[in-house]
Structure 1
Amino acid sequence: MKKITQIFAIILLSSFNPLEAMNFQTGSDKTLDEAPFSQTDSLKTSEKPNALHSLDQKIKTIQFDPFGKNLKDTTTASFQFSFVPFVGTNGTNSGNVVNDYSFNWLGGYSAGTNKLEMAGLFNINRGDMRGVQMAGWFNQIGGKVEGVQLAGLFNSNLDSVKGVQLAGLANFTTGSVDGVQMAGVANFSPKKVEGVQLAGVMNFTAEDLKGSQIAGVLNFAGKTVKGSQSGLVNYARKVNGFQLGLINFSDSISGIPVGFLSFVKSGYHTAEISVNEIMPFNLAFRTGKREFYNIVFAGIRPEWDNQVTWSFGYGVGTSPRLGKKTFLNIEVSSEQLNRGRVEALNLVNRLYVGGEFQAAKGLAIFAGPTLNFRVYDTSYSFHPDLFTYTKTSVHSDRYHPEDLGSQFWLGFRAGFRFF
């Protein structure tokens, strides 16, 4: 065991100072099985503590500062190899050397990389990284990145990125991004992004985006988007392009937000009271832009019955301008009609084409015909009657397999809009 300890100490010391390690090894040439104690043995015994003391002093002088940017005393090396930080060809000077090629068995620590760096677990550069950097766990850069970063978990940079970042979990930078960020979970930049952010959960930039954000859940751009956002939820202040998602938010947009619900602060918002051939009282809310908007609505038919007939639905529409105060409305919607609880399929699908006249500021009158197609569960016997206030005729009544029925008729819609 003592011999193994001596060998390890020689290797470790050689990474710090090869000359000193040679002296240490020369002082320990004799084996433990040689002659009894002699003057040479006495000298060997006296040299060991001095060498170990020197090793201890060198270890104490090691400075590990992965986030420090004071790179005044750096040197360059064409090649380096290390097992872990400070145990390698650059020794205790690792943090002050910029390497062209760097290979780290477990992890490496340097002042920067010019061409290629690879590690089994991690790479830590105090300064810039130019070229290609790969790590099983993470890459940490204190300066700029120009090239390609690949990490099993995350890439973290304290300056700008120009190139490509790929990570299993996240890419993080405190500077701007010019290129591509791809991550399994999230991409983050507090500065502008020019290029593409692609993430399984979230993309974030606090400033402008020129390009595209694609995420499984959330895309966030703090200022202007010149391009597109695609995700479940999209947010930007100003959009010169389009948003595609379940929910879209923006202050203004030059293109079209496409989603289940889009809210544009300077866009199209109306509240509506209307009547149709089935329901005498309906409330609806429109949001988006006149070029494309979403509609959520509900209706009720008061009756002297314990179970009130009511409905709820969703639709989309467009409203091009015809004149100074007139607009055309083209809308498609689907409405579930119920008596009491929702217990069976009873959908009224409706195409509406009508006219809108802006009678006063914030007030419009609209009316038009509808084409209605009902799909319902024929095995359920308690559907509400369709027409109790109007005399509307069903033109087609058919039965289909799987207990489905369909009906077709012409109807109308009319009412007031407030905005």
Structure 2
Amino acid sequence: MVVNKFSLNVIGGYTAGVDGLELGGLFNINRRNTKYLQLAGVFNLVGGNMSGLQIAGVSNQVLDTVKGVQIAGFINKAESQVSGLQIAALTNKAQVLKGVQIGIVNVVDTSAGASIGLINIVRNGFYKITLSANDLSNTNVSLKTGTHGFYSTLLMGANISAHNKMYSFGMGVGHDFMFSDHLYLSTEAAYQFAFTGELDDRWAQAKLLLNIQLAKYVSLIAGPTYNKYSYTGSHGGYHRKFRIPDDAKGDGNQVKRWIGWEAGLAFNSVFKPSAKVKKLRRSQDLFLGIATIVGWNWNSPPTYVVGSEIFIQKDFGGSMSGTLTGGYVYHSLNSDLARPSFFTHPDGRTDRYVDVAYKAIPLKAGIRTYASKRLYFAGELGASLGINRAGMLKTTYPDGTVDQTQYGRRNSFLYAVSIGYSFDNGLETGVKFEDYASFKYTKQFNLRFAYRFKL
């Protein structure tokens, strides 16, 4: 086998290596090193080093060192060092990072760079759960993962009050200025979505928090915050700070800025260094499973979701699996809260357009990546085949006669991201965000309970 300067593979190719440009309709597999540019519709696999730019629709895997950029629709993985940039919609993995990772989940053994994502598992880093209060919400929980040089934060908060309710969620980033192991200053930036009757509020913060270690795993945090809050007006029972008089509504978002405070307790821990272990999943493993989902739509008006799934999971070896899923889902909708629109014709007919409960058969293909033996992260793409359309047209005639006709889209593109845990006895549980992109009321957070068995 020879090292090619140019390799064009209509479906896929298997070569000793590439020192130039390689294009693959589905895949590229190189036994040794690859340089400069490698593109594939599904996956790239390099047995040696990769230097340059590597792009794939699903995954890139390099069995040695990456010097350059990896971009993948789902997963990037380097068995040794990454000196450069990894960008993936789902997961990035590296043994040693001397660069930047951007993805939902980033996993690295030793980091001298920055991992930017919802969850960062850095073996020489930390994870921290913080319980705090601030001048706007009295109950807040955050998860910080990364290193003191750079970490990401997941945020959830609520102001628990009978007449001043408020809920928020978002993410942020931060850096610690270390005075000692027991005293340091955290500088953080955060952005949250807030609910005060409508999910239209946006809350940006800059924080300066002093950390004082009280015990081995417990720290006291406190400090000032700068806040910028954009809002459209809170409803009755929600935060009074963001009420808008009726005569001022409809003028667009209002903005408040102020200096506030935050204080609380942080519970600290560190990730365990990884060890070389035997493969936990064999490439021939095939599973069949069934699942139940139940969830809640995050848009207004509130709706619930129930459904069931049947799925096949194929392990590809290492930490990656593929899934094919089909099922049934029911999106409820209270039509009285769905803000119907009206149109009156010159002849006296009135059309009333109302969104209705949507029933569909979702079909999805996905990728799972395991961060440990049982904890996995997953991404799915697919389509929903509607059993009914998502809207109803009610026409009322002057004589009182009423006609009803379904209208609107029936089918939709859908995507989902999830985190789950697989038990040894075949049970699985997890949390999933799923969106049927063509419809307004189908962005949802679901709980998933499943059972699978090996074929």
3-state SS of the aligned residue for 1:252?
strand
Give the aligned partner of residue 148 of structure 1: 6
Contact 2:21-2:38 within 8 A present in 1 as well: yes
Contact 1:267-1:288 within 8 A present in 2 as well: yes
Give the aligned partner of residue 171 of structure 1: 28
Asked if residue 409 in structure 1 is aligned to residue 258 in structure 2, the reply is yes
Asked if residue 368 in structure 1 is aligned to residue 234 in structure 2, the reply is no
Letter in 2 for 1:403: G
Percent sequence identity is: 27
Give the aligned partner of residue 356 of structure 1: 211
3-state SS of the aligned residue for 1:322?
strand
Q: Matched residues in 2 for 1:304 and 1:179: separation? A: 61
Q: 1:265 to 1:401 in 2, by over 3 A?
A: farther
How much does 1:366 deviate?
A: 1.3
How much does 1:164 deviate?
A: 2.9
Give unpaired runs (5+ residues) of structure 2.
269-455
Q: Matched residues in 2 for 1:279 and 1:331: separation? A: 18
Q: Matched residues in 2 for 1:188 and 1:268: separation? A: 31
Give the aligned partner of residue 136 of structure 2: 278
Contact 1:344-1:377 within 8 A present in 2 as well: no
Q: Matched residues in 2 for 1:309 and 1:400: separation? A: 20
Q: Matched residues in 2 for 1:260 and 1:300: separation? A: 20
How much does 1:308 deviate?
A: 5.6
Q: Matched residues in 2 for 1:228 and 1:337: separation? A: 32
- CA deviations on 1:378-412 (whole Å, 9 max, x unpaired) are 3x53361257xxxxx99xxxx79743112222211
Q: 1:309 to 1:202 in 2, by over 3 A?
A: same
Q: Matched residues in 2 for 1:215 and 1:238: separation? A: 19
Give the aligned partner of residue 67 of structure 2: 210
How much does 1:179 deviate?
A: 4.5
Give the aligned partner of residue 247 of structure 1: 105
Contact 1:242-1:257 within 8 A present in 2 as well: yes
Contact 1:155-1:165 within 8 A present in 2 as well: no
Asked if residue 186 in structure 1 is aligned to residue 35 in structure 2, the reply is no
TM-score normalized by structure 2? 0.52
Q: 1:346 to 1:195 in 2, by over 3 A?
A: closer
Contact 1:205-1:220 within 8 A present in 2 as well: yes
Contact 1:228-1:242 within 8 A present in 2 as well: yes
How much does 1:285 deviate?
A: 0.8
- CA deviations on 1:88-139 (whole Å, 9 max, x unpaired) are xxxxxxxxxxxxxxxxxxxxxxxxxxxxxxxxxxxxxxxxxxxxxxxxxxxx
3-state SS of the aligned residue for 1:279?
coil
How much does 1:283 deviate?
A: 1.2
Q: 1:246 to 1:354 in 2, by over 3 A?
A: same
Structure holding more helix per residue? 1
- CA deviations on 1:27-68 (whole Å, 9 max, x unpaired) are xxxxxxxxxxxxxxxxxxxxxxxxxxxxxxxxxxxxxxxxxx
How much does 1:326 deviate?
A: 1.8
Contact 1:242-1:253 within 8 A present in 2 as well: no
How much does 1:236 deviate?
A: 1.2
3-state SS of the aligned residue for 1:320?
strand
3-state SS of the aligned residue for 1:321?
strand
How much does 1:322 deviate?
A: 2.7
Q: 1:386 to 1:292 in 2, by over 3 A?
A: farther
**The structure with more radius of gyration:** 1
Letter in 2 for 1:385: H
Q: CA RMSD in A?
A: 3.0
Q: 1:403 to 1:312 in 2, by over 3 A?
A: same
Q: Matched residues in 1 for 2:218 and 2:235: separation? A: 42
Asked if residue 222 in structure 1 is aligned to residue 79 in structure 2, the reply is yes
Q: 1:375 to 1:155 in 2, by over 3 A?
A: same
Asked if residue 302 in structure 1 is aligned to residue 170 in structure 2, the reply is no
Asked if residue 200 in structure 1 is aligned to residue 57 in structure 2, the reply is yes
- CA deviations on 1:241-278 (whole Å, 9 max, x unpaired) are 22233432212211112334433122131111111112
Q: Matched residues in 2 for 1:272 and 1:203: separation? A: 35
Structure holding more strand per residue? 2
Please give the residue correspondences for 1:322-337 in structure 2 after superposition, counting only pairs within 5 Å. 322-337=179-194
Q: Matched residues in 1 for 2:52 and 2:256: separation? A: 51
- CA deviations on 1:292-344 (whole Å, 9 max, x unpaired) are 21111222333357x964332322221121345321111122333435xx634
Contact 1:326-1:356 within 8 A present in 2 as well: yes
Letter in 1 for 2:3: V
Q: Matched residues in 2 for 1:312 and 1:228: separation? A: 28
3-state SS of the aligned residue for 1:210?
strand
Q: Which structure is higher in RCO with an 8 Å CA cutoff and minimum separation 6?
A: 2
Instruction: Give the count of matched residue pairs.
Output: 264
Please give the residue correspondences for 1:9-408 in structure 2 after superposition, counting only pairs within 5 Å. 143-157=1-15, 159-232=16-89, 233-304=91-162, 309-338=166-195, 343-378=198-233, 381-382=235-236, 384-386=238-240, 402-408=251-257
TM-score normalized by structure 1? 0.56
Contact 2:232-2:249 within 8 A present in 1 as well: no
How much does 1:375 deviate?
A: 0.9
Q: Matched residues in 2 for 1:344 and 1:273: separation? A: 24
Q: 1:373 to 1:400 in 2, by over 3 A?
A: farther
